[in-house]
Amino acid sequence: MYKKIVANIIDKSIAIIGFGKEGKSSYNFIRRYLPNKKIAIIDKNDKLLEQNDYLKEDKNVIVITGENYLDSINDYDMIIKSPGVKIPNELVKIVKDKITSQLELLLEIDRNNIIGITGTKGKSTTSSLLYKIIKDQDIDCLLLGNVGNPILDYIEDIKEDTILVIECSSYQLEMIHYSPHIGLVLNLFEDHLIYHINLEDYWHSKLNMFRYQTSSDYMLYDSELVNVNNEISKNPFHSNKLDIYKDFKIDDNRVIFENRIIYDKSSKREIIGEHNFKNILFVLRVCILLGLDLEKARKSIETFKPLKHRMEYFGTYNGVKYYDDTIATIPEATINCIEALKEVDTLIFGGLDRGIDYSILIDYLNNSKIDNIIAMPDTGYKIAKELVNKKVFKVSTLEEAVITAKKVTKKICVLSPAAPSYNAFKNFEEKGDLFKELVKKG
């Protein structure tokens, strides 16, 4: 597999844009197989060389940093872009045909065993669950992409029959020119509007998942979700459209496919909530496409553990159950969490204000039975002003939030921000880890 990628890049002048986790992975791949190839590393961070001393010893690398770091990218034949690096639209028009990514380098040479999973929420859980089911049936499979594993780090492990489950973000999909054989779009909500021009641009990037599919490929979606159905209806996709809302019949908790009962909604599972049930339906539909043993799949679903920071129960302290749901960075995700846990009496929420519409969460909280609402900057304060007849505690730090929660909670406390954490933390993981640490301090 790696030889085909090497053959595609060997004669091209290459620039790696963005030197985070994936950018470093791209550099390491090139150096592993083409140790003497001249490459450019282009990143806004002007301290990049200080932070990566080994680059100073590489005589075949040019490092370009600073505010004008993108000025020279048209000088290269191939631009390997890392997810999340925003190239201005005017410049994209000039260099679009040169831009590629780790995902595209793989799709270009072999997409038949690739299952791509996207959506605003639920990608990591769905990808990880599908991966577990496939592995549990002793089938060679890798879990790659946005879930945390750069594709090129595992390229030597990919054989001809290896099934690749790849979690795809909008950043990874926005400029691809190839599509996976099987693609899933779980949902579409308002998100990532700091990066994308507008909501239409964000959703368009997501649906690039299907743009280059053919009549031999598969698109899985849920027409019950209005946003998804509308977007798919207005695009001329050519793949086989599999609508899980219509493919499955739900009768008294029984999931029926072609007159067969394939799953019971009331079965034991640790990933709770209606949203996770929908994720399970997507996974079951892929299992049917792959011809997997559905009885074994059901057992895998039963034993699948929730991922960290996703409605993660981490302990009971002084009779109160605590959950870390810091992955919930949009209103819909926080609502799903509260609905799934059912007896939440304390909600800690709030984070970076991206200017998205919070009316759905405001209405929900005003009509909820949650006793204690602990609001953190910035969105927490903004939403708190709109809450009526609710016990609201405004706090400045997560430490204050936990101290308050310990005083007032009787049953369940959950940290579910409904916003990103970048206004006070490096990422949601850092916030979730600190939350757990503070709760456990006693």
Q: Which of 303, 321, 347 is the endpoint of a domain?
A: 303
Q: Is the pLDDT of residue 193 over 60?
A: no
Residue 22 pLDDT grade (very low, low, confident, very high; cuts 50, 70, 90)? very high
Residue 30 CA to residue 283 CA, distance in Å, equals: 35
Crossing angle of helices 21-33/2-9, nearest 10°? 90
- % the chain with pLDDT above 90: 87
Torsion of CA 112, 114, 120, 121, to 10 degrees: 140
Q: Which of 67, 100, 133 is the endpoint of a domain?
A: 100
In a domain, 105, yes or no: no
In a domain, 205, yes or no: yes
Residue 371 pLDDT grade (very low, low, confident, very high; cuts 50, 70, 90)? very high
Q: 435 CB contacts (<8 Å, ≥6 apart)?
A: 324, 326, 348, 398, 402, 415
Instruction: Check if the beta carbon of residue 147 is closer than 8 Å to that of residue 124.
Output: yes
pLDDT of the residue at 171: 84
Q: Is the pLDDT of residue 334 over 60?
A: yes
Q: Is the pLDDT of residue 147 over 80?
A: no
Q: Is the pLDDT of residue 406 over 90?
A: yes
Residue 148 pLDDT grade (very low, low, confident, very high; cuts 50, 70, 90)? low
C-alpha to C-alpha distances, 338 to 19, 245, 321, nearest whole angstrom: 38, 24, 13
Q: 329 CB contacts (<8 Å, ≥6 apart)?
A: 191, 351, 417, 418, 419, 420, 421, 428
Q: Which of 148-152, 191-195, 393-397 is modeled with the greatest confidence?
A: 393-397
CATH number at residue 355: 3.90.190.20
In a domain, 149, yes or no: yes
Beta partners for residue 40, in sequence order:
15, 62
In a domain, 146, yes or no: yes
Do 89 and 189 fall into the same domain?
Answer: no
Do 115 and 75 fall into the same domain?
Answer: no
CATH number at residue 9: 3.40.50.720
Q: How many domains does the chain have?
A: 3
Do 148 and 180 fall into the same domain?
Answer: yes
Token digits of residue 32 = 């592993």
pLDDT of the residue at 198: 76
Instruction: Check if the beta carbon of residue 60 is closer than 8 Å to that of residue 38.
Output: yes
Secondary structure element (H or E) that encloses residue 218, with its range? strand 218-221
In a domain, 257, yes or no: yes
Q: 215 CB contacts (<8 Å, ≥6 apart)?
A: 238, 239, 240
Q: Is the pLDDT of residue 202 over 90?
A: no
Amino acid residing at 206:
K
Q: Is the pLDDT of residue 191 over 90?
A: no
pLDDT of the residue at 245: 92
Do 381 and 345 fall into the same domain?
Answer: yes
341-370: per-residue pLDDT in tens? 999 999 999 999 988 899 999 999 999 999
Do 88 and 128 fall into the same domain?
Answer: no
pLDDT of the residue at 259: 95
- Mean predicted confidence (pLDDT) in 115-141: 96
Q: Is the pLDDT of residue 42 over 70?
A: yes
pLDDT of the residue at 195: 58
Token digits of residue 361 = 């969460």
Query: Rounded to two decimals, what is the model's pTM?
Result: 0.93
pLDDT of the residue at 179: 96
Of the chain, the end-to-end C-alpha distance in Å amounts to: 52
In a domain, 430, yes or no: yes
Instruction: Check if the beta carbon of residue 385 is closer than 8 Å to that of residue 358.
Output: no
- Mean predicted confidence (pLDDT) in 195-210: 81
CATH number at residue 243: 3.40.1190.10
Do 273 and 387 fall into the same domain?
Answer: no
Do 123 and 192 fall into the same domain?
Answer: yes
57-81: per-residue pLDDT in tens? 999 999 999 999 999 999 999 999 9
Do 329 and 285 fall into the same domain?
Answer: no
Token digits of residue 366 = 């005003």
Residue 262 CA to residue 174 CA, distance in Å, equals: 35
Do 239 and 165 fall into the same domain?
Answer: yes
Range of weakest confidence among 84-88, 267-271, 317-321: 84-88
pLDDT of the residue at 1: 76
Do 141 and 235 fall into the same domain?
Answer: yes
242: left (phi over 0), alpha (psi -120 to 50) or beta: beta
Residue in the structure block whose two tokens are 């270009």: 108
In a domain, 18, yes or no: yes
Instruction: Check if the beta carbon of residue 193 is closer than 8 Å to that of residue 199.
Output: yes
Do 130 and 202 fall into the same domain?
Answer: yes
**In whole numbers, what is the pLDDT of the chain averaged over residues?**
94
Helix, strand, coil proportions of the chain in percent (round to 5)? 40, 20, 40
Q: DSSP 3-state assignment of 423?
A: coil
Q: What is the DSSP letter of 307?
A: P
In a domain, 375, yes or no: yes
Instruction: Check if the beta carbon of residue 23 is closer than 8 Å to that of residue 43.
Output: yes
- Mean predicted confidence (pLDDT) in 271-284: 97
pLDDT of the residue at 381: 97
Q: Which of 303, 334, 365 is the endpoint of a domain?
A: 303
| Domain with 273 in it | 110-303
Instruction: Check if the beta carbon of residue 120 is closer than 8 Å to that of residue 305.
Output: no
Q: What is the DSSP letter of 77?
A: S
Taking Cα atoms as reference points, which of 280, 271, 308 lies closest to residue 133?
280
Do 118 and 254 fall into the same domain?
Answer: yes
Angle at 320 between CA 319 and CA 326, to 5 degrees: 155
Cis peptide before 324 (omega within 30 of 0): no
Residue 22 CA to residue 158 CA, distance in Å, equals: 18
Sign of the dihedral through C-alpha 268, 273, 275, 276: negative
Residue in the structure block whose two tokens are 């006693």: 442
Token digits of residue 104 = 């595209």
